[in-house]
Chains A and B, each alone.
Chain A
């Protein structure tokens, strides 16, 4: 029947169970995983001039991960029953649920990240490399599992794609690198007493290099988003409605305006345009825009995905 000849008279209310706090949780785990990966690359990279980056990431990663699960506790309807998740007894937890993998990862990853940070700061390079190698798969899976939470939400067309875990990991890398750039710039500008001009200049070169790395990951992220949107437009009816919401509907400002234009295209230009790519001010603006853009991405995926009615 022609849709203009159909009127909905009565239905039960449309609910959005997972709210903005879940989006914020995904955002914070993403920041943690991304900055941990950058820190490990710097530590394993071997060159001494990369070491400062390793130290910054080693602090930022556990900090973000301690903040992240607080959002979940507030979001839950029964926060006092959260311990039910941590019994790890086969009869009491469901090994098929992605939340179960997540709880195990959220226990193991911060512990390993804190031990890693301890060895990085005490200068024990051998042990910090060991914990870097242990931490990398944990960091990637602690964010990858949030992609599985979204992807296994079977009813929602925007979520239920195999691309989600990859998209989440790549966007985590984007926001993590942006946070690292910000932290490195703060360190370079405000905490460089007692350093020679050459040392400060070498530190800046490192930040510019990180900017180029950010640009490369943004390009990959944009490519994945293009894949997701093209498939949404040609998949099921629910998927088409999800694409409608994101591209010209309710969430187009969040998705096209903030996530794509402000959060990806403009920073991409800034990190490759020579004038802004070699100025700390330019890189600061680019990284703040990227972090706002990734927040908008989490919001539009979590809330936008649940905005297509199911009954």
Chain B
């Protein structure tokens, strides 16, 4: 959770904690799905599973119609329920806010998947452990941006440290209206959207919940 600093006496830069987050500016998103492809390639995500994907809806009645996109990924919450519910501490929170899964400790009980309010976790059918987006922490640690951010052709994704006032993400977040998914659950998601559509953010909009196809976990 970002530390609150008073505008009169700014927090000392030495004490400032890094907190990685992502802003997705949907005014620039063209729905090309290249973030999904880049993520699959970077993280070896198996067939049929996604760490990052783009939900697409159509709305309106001809001729007033539009297509809305919602690029979805793990929100790397500041107060994640998956971390609280993991019985073996396989899910951990890094000091910079990234939520990861220790692949050597995960017992595959799938309780984190059942309790995640955003349904971003999956079981890797080959390795039989739970995986999810972790902002490409192997790239971030080497000073690179996550694969989806680097590949985004409209520069809709902005990644960085929201506690650093000079970073692009902090400036974008301060000067634009941002929303998160399901803020009422108190999980404090750290993927923020600019100009996200109401119906795209609603999981039950545009589907008949009696006829959803289910997928086996693995």
Q: Which residues of A contact B (CB under 8 A)?
A: 1, 3, 5-19, 72, 75-78, 81-82, 84-85, 91-94, 96-100, 103, 149, 152-156, 237-238, 241, 244-245, 249-250, 306-311
Contacts and interface: CB of A to CB of B under 8 A. Distances in A.
Nearest to A90: B89
Interface of B: 48, 50, 53-61, 67, 72, 81, 84-89, 105-111, 113-120, 122-123, 128-130, 185, 187, 198-199, 202-207, 209-210, 212-218
A152 B117 contact: no
B53 A11 contact: yes
Contacts of B116: 155, 310
SS class, residues of chain A in contact with chain B = loop
Given A97-B86, A154-B187, 5 more contacts: A8-B207, A77-B107, A94-B84, A156-B114, A310-B117
Contacts of B117: 154-155, 310
Enumerate the 7 nearest inter-chain pairs by beta-carbon distance, A residue then B residue, closest first: A77-B108, A155-B117, A99-B87, A6-B206, A17-B113, A17-B110, A8-B206
A7 B86 contact: no
Contacts of B199: 1, 6
A303 to B, nearest CB: 9
Given A7-B57, A77-B129, A94 B213 contact: no
Contacts of B130: 77
A268 B206 CA distance: 41
A5 B57 CA distance: 10
B128 A78 contact: yes
B215 A14 contact: yes
A69 to B, nearest CB: 12
A149 B114 CA distance: 10
Given A97-B85, A249-B209, A18 B204 contact: no
A7 B58 contact: yes
